[in-house]
Structures are given as C-alpha cells and as structure tokens.
C-alpha cells in the first residue's frame, strides 16, 4: 500500500527550480534598484551638506575617517564613496594622505546597510516572533513608508520633500528585494535538497574568500552581496565557519569598482584605488589566519566548534562590522605606510608630469560635488582672465614683451577652461539636480562666456600696446591722464565682478551696473576730447585709431562685468535669467542706482579737453 502514498511523499519535498532562480534574480534586481534610488536621493538631498563637510576637510586622518564613515552611511555605498575619492584625488581636491582616512572610514560606513537589511530576518529562524517584536519586522512598517513615499513623489514639486519621498520608496523597494531573495531560497533549507553539503566547501578559507570576492565583483556592490548572503541564511545551512571567509572576500570584491574607475586617472588617482585594495587585502591576510588560530585554540580547550554554529542575518551583520573594526584597529595607525606602499606599486616615471584634472567625470556620481568642482574651476578661470586684463593695462606704462607673451598664453588656457567647463556642465545638467545646483549650473554656463571674452579683450589691448611700442608712439599727457582714469574705473569694476562671483556678494554685483554706465560715459568723453585735440593738432589720426580700439575693448570688458553681476543677482533672487530686462528695470526710477551712478561719475570725472 505504500506505493499509493509515494506521490504524496514526493510532493512534500520542496523544489528549487528555475522559477526560484528567477525570483532570486528579481529580488536582487529590486535590491540593487532600491539601493540606487535611495543612494541617489540621499546624495541629492545631502548635496549642500556634503560640500560643506568637504570644504572643512583637513589633513587630520581622524576627521577624514569620520568623513568617509559618515558619507558612506548617508549614500549607502562604500564603492561610490571610494570612486568619489579617486575623483577628488585625481582632480587635486584631496591629497593621498587625506584619501587614506576617508577610504578607511568608508569601509566601516558600509556596514550600516547590513544592519538595516538584517531587520528582514526577525522571526525567520524560529518560525515566529513575539508580538512586541512584530512591529520591528519590515513587513509591518514598510508599506507605510512606501505609501508616504509615493504620496510625496506624486504630490510635491522638486525639492527636499520629493527627495525624501524617493528615499522612502528606494528603501521600500530595497527591503522588498531582500524579502524576495530570502523567500526564493527558503526551499533550500530542506536537507533532502543537499544545499548544506554544497555550502560546506566554503568553510575552506580560500574558496570562501574567492566566492565572496567574485560575487561582489559581479554585482558591483558589497552591500548587495552581503544581502544575498543574509538571504541564504534562511536555509539554516550556513555556519560561521563558511560565512566569515565569504564576508572577507566580499570586502576585497568591493574594491573592484574603485580599481576600474581609476583607469584613465592620474598617478595619485590610481594610488587611491590601490590604497583601498591594499587595506582590504592586507586585512584579510592578517585577520583570516588569526581567526583560524583563535578557533583552533578554543576547540583545543573545549568542545565548542564554531564551524558547526548556524549563522543568521544578524550574525552576518555582526561579522561584517567586527571584521571592519578589526581592520581599522590594525591598519589605521599604519595609514602612512599604506600610502607609501601604494606609491611603490604605482611609481613615478622619470620625466613624467602628473597633470591635475579639476573636472573629473567620476564626480558626476555625486552631482552636487560635481557642480562645486565646476564652480571652483570657474573661479580659477575668472582669476586668470581678470589678472591678464590687469596685466595688459600695465603695458601702457612700461611695455614688457615677456608679459605680453604671458597674457597670450593665459588667453589660450582660458579658452581651454571655457571648453572644458562648458562640456562638463552640460553633462552635469543631465544629472538629477536640486534646484540650487540647477541654478548654479545655469549661472556658470552664462558666466564662462563672459570670462573668456575678457581674456580676449586683454589680448586685444596687448596688440594695441605692441603697436604703440613698435611705432614708438605715445599719447599726450592729457590723453594719458584720461586713459589712466578709464583704467582705474575698469580695475574697480573688475574688483566688484570678482567679489560678486567668488563670494556671491549681491551688494558688489549691484554696484557694477552704475559703474558700467560711468565707463560708457568716460568712453564718449575721451573720444570727444580726442577729436578736440585732433582739431588743435595736439594728436594724430594714428593715435586716434589706437585710442579708439583701447576704449572699445575697455568698454566691452565693463559690459561683460555687468553681465556677471546681473547673473549673480538674478540667480541669487531665484528669478529667471533675463539680463536685458534686469538692467533696464534697474535703471528706471531706482534711487540707489542713481546715487551710486552719481558717486562713480564724480569719482572718475574727466573735464573737457584743455587743449587750446
């Protein structure tokens, strides 16, 4: 009669088939997607805070450690933090010594995710949970977060609330994926499927480390690979002896992303990636033998065998965290040696120059940081343009051929800056930006064109100075005084424009427009005086051509400064960028404008020509 019950008995054996594998892959996809959404939204929401933290960063390795830990805990990815660090080092924003502390901190920060995903394991191992703990299970509160998140996304505009909604949705998707992975592998808990015998091979430390390394390298996320390992614990077949080597391998595998990102970086960028790899590889080489030595000693003195103890999700999170903390305790005091070792591996080649690339595309992973880097590059461009214009004005007092060549070289560099920054900003604008960062990108795109034109005018002025030097010409004393007054006004408008741009100083930006109008008046007055001198034979037509070119270039420089000031004001006020409308409105019935205009007109007054 037993053969009548054979089909029934066979049906009670759980199956693990292609549908379970598909469910596992779907869960992994949701896990990665949720982590990506949550990480991007967290980076976007915390963008300005990240910039403030980086601005205060010092060479102190301890502050760097906590910076790396905090940033990784926020964006939920040590790989993303390390890739960002490679970008910082490559761009010259961060030194290799600073990077060491940040990378070590990032290794610890990623452990936070494992504790969050471990919440999914409440009640799984014992088949139930107390009523008091039931509320801690993600299934109990995750739907609430999902509903709040979708409401914030659907019913709010761009801003912090929408970012928070995306964070909540990303977390809900992440936990759903984690739950799907756990459910899909649950049938493997049945001993008749033989899954436990497969996992015993990973108690071999070498195989375990390789398994963790390969898994993490494939999914490109240590958090995801740790999540997969946590989901497999529901089978009850994974022991501490199998899990510990896998976790160690996962920490090496997470370095693959940073190593790949360093391709194309300069030497220091490559060294930052190598430093990350060294930290984890050396850590595994030290800790793994110590672990087996300690367990062997314990087993000698007692009947306790750690390799036979089943691990759960919380155990994985604990092992993951303890391993990282032990690495910090051992290697953090020797961070300078790690830096030196990375420099030995990535050596300097004789005669090879290491160029600094301010705008590194790796920083696009964190758009707010990319925008900040573009702003810094724009300030460098502004400094070059304005200094070259000032130098060109000095050539009328004492001509210097070397200085003239230097101004031409700077103009070439400024052209490169404009092309590079413009292309980079276009890429940044394609990212998901906050309103503040979007406005900053708009401002920079407008300003770099004006800065480039200022350097062009500097070269034009150089050519006028060269012509006067070659032809042995000189202006009359009266013309020289007038030109000196004009140059003084231009110098002040450059000071105002630079202050408005560097400090975002709206007060200085407002002062630019009345001074620009005074410069227009000066140009007209000097031209009129020249005509009078020409009629009196005090000047020649040749002098007039050169003077006209100089005045035209100086007046156009003031126009570009006006554009910069107007752009700063419009963006600061949160209005649409319409410079023509702004300037026209400023001049009509504005008492403050009239007062400043009168002040500058008196300060840079030029009397009618005194030539008789």
Residue 518 contacts residue 489 (beta carbons within 8 Å): yes
Mean pLDDT of 30-47: 70
Mean pLDDT of 4-20: 56
Mean pLDDT of 159-171: 80
Q: How much is the pLDDT for 128? A: 47
Q: How much is the pLDDT for 6? A: 45
CA dist 325 and 247 (Å) reads 13
Instruction: Give the model confidence (pLDDT) of 329-364 as tens digits.
Output: 888 888 888 888 888 888 766 544 444 456 777 777
Residue 10 confidence class, pLDDT cut points 50, 70, 90: very low
β-bridge partners, 239 = 310
Instruction: Give the model confidence (pLDDT) of 562-609 as tens digits.
Output: 888 888 887 776 655 555 555 565 666 577 788 888 888 898 888 766
CA dist 84 and 276 (Å) reads 12
Tokens of 356: 């600094």
**SS3 at position 310:** strand
Q: Which CATH architecture has domain 366-461?
A: Up-down Bundle (1.20)
pLDDT at 235 exceeding the cut of 60 = yes
Helix axes 47-55, 435-470, angle to 10 degrees: 50
Q: Do the domains spanning 366-461 and 473-612 agree at the CATH topology level?
A: yes
Among the listed residues 55, 102, 68, 87, the one whose alpha carbon sits nearest the alpha carbon of residue 370: 87
Q: CB-side exposure of 225: number of CA atoms within 13 Å?
A: 29
| CA end-to-end distance (rounded Å), the chain | 136
| Highest mean pLDDT: which range of 176-185, 204-213, 579-588 | 204-213
- Domain positions in the chain: 13-345, 366-461, 473-612
Look at 590 and 479; give whichever has higher pLDDT.
479
Residue 122 confidence class, pLDDT cut points 50, 70, 90: low
The values of phi and psi at residue 310, to 5°, are: -75, 135
β-bridge partners, 310 = 239
**SS3 at position 239:** strand
Q: How much is the pLDDT for 7? A: 46
Instruction: Give the model confidence (pLDDT) of 241-251 as tens digits.
Output: 788 888 888 88
Q: What is the DSSP letter of 590?
A: -
CATH of domain 473-612: 1.20.58.220
307 Cβ contact list (under 8 Å, min separation 6)? 203, 239, 240, 241, 242, 295
Lowest mean per-residue pLDDT among 176-190, 437-451, 578-592:
578-592
CA dist 238 and 247 (Å) reads 12
């Amino acid at each position: 009669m037993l053969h009548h019950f054979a089909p029934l008995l066979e049906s009670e054996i759980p199956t693990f088939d292609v549908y379970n594998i598909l469910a596992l892959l779907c869960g992994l996809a949701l896990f990665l997607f949720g982590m990506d959404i949550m990480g991007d939204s967290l980076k976007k929401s915390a963008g300005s805070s990240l910039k403030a933290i980086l601005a205060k960063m010092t060479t102190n390795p301890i502050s760097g450690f906590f910076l790396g830990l905090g940033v990784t805990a926020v964006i939920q990815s040590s790989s993303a933090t390390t890739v960002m660090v490679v970008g910082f080092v490559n761009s010259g924003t961060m030194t290799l010594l600073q990077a060491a502390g940040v990378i070590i901190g990032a290794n610890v920060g990623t452990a936070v995710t494992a504790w969050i995903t471990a919440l999914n394991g409440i009640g799984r191992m014992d088949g139930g949970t107390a009523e008091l703990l039931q509320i801690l299970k993600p299934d109990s509160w995750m739907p609430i977060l999902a509903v709040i998140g979708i409401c914030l996304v659907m019913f709010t505009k761009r801003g912090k609330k929408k970012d928070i909604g995306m964070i909540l949705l990303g977390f809900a998707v992440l936990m759903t994926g984690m739950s799907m992975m756990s459910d899909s592998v649950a049938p493997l808990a049945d001993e008749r499927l033989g899954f436990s015998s497969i996992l015993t091979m990973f108690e071999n430390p070498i195989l375990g480390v390789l398994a963790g390394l390969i898994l993490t390298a494939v999914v490109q996320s240590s958090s995801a690979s740790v999540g997969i390992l946590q989901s497999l614990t529901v089978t009850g077949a994974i022991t501490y002896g199998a899990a510990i080597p896998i976790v160690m391998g996962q920490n090496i595998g997470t370095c693959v992303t940073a190593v790949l990102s360093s391709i194309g970086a300069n030497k220091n960028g490559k060294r930052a990636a190598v430093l990350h790899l060294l930290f984890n590889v050396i850590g595994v080489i030290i800790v793994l033998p110590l672990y087996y030595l300690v367990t062997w000693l314990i087993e000698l003195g007692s009947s306790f065998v750690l390799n036979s103890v089943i691990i759960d999700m919380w155990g994985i999170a604990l092992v993951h965290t303890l391993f990282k903390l032990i690495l910090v305790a051992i290697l953090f005091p020797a961070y300078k040696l790690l830096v030196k070792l990375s420099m030995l591996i990535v050596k300097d080649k004789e005669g090879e120059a290491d160029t600094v690339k301010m705008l590194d595309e790796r920083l696009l992973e964190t758009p707010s940081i990319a925008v900040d880097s573009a702003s810094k590059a724009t300030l460098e461009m502004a400094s070059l343009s304005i200094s070259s214009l000032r130098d060109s004005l000095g050539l009328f007092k004492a001509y210097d051929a070397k200085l003239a060549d230097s101004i031409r070289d700077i103009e070439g560099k400024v052209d490169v800056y404009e092309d590079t920054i413009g292309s980079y900003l276009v890429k940044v604008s394609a990212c998901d930006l906050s309103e503040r960062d979007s406005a900053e990108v708009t401002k920079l795109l407008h300003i770099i064109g004006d800065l480039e034109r200022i350097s062009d005018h500097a070269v034009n002025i150089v050519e006028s100075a060269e012509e006067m030097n070659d032809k042995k010409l000189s202006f009359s004393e009266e013309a020289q005084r007038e030109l000196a007054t004009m140059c003084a006004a231009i110098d002040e408008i450059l000071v105002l424009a630079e202050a408005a741009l560097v400090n975002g100083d709206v007060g200085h930006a407002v002062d630019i427009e009345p001074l620009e109008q005074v410069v227009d008046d000066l140009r007209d007055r000097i031209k009129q005086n020249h005509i009078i001198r020409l009629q009196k034979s005090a000047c020649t037509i040749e002098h007039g051509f050169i003077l006209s070119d100089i005045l035209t270039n100086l007046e156009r420089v003031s126009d570009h400064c006006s554009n910069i000031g107007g752009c700063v004001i419009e963006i600061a006020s949160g209005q649409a960028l319409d410079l023509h409308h702004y300037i026209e409105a400023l001049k009509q019935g504005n008492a403050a404008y009239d007062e400043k205009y009168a002040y500058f007109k008196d300060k840079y007054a030029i009397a009618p020509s005194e030539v008789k």
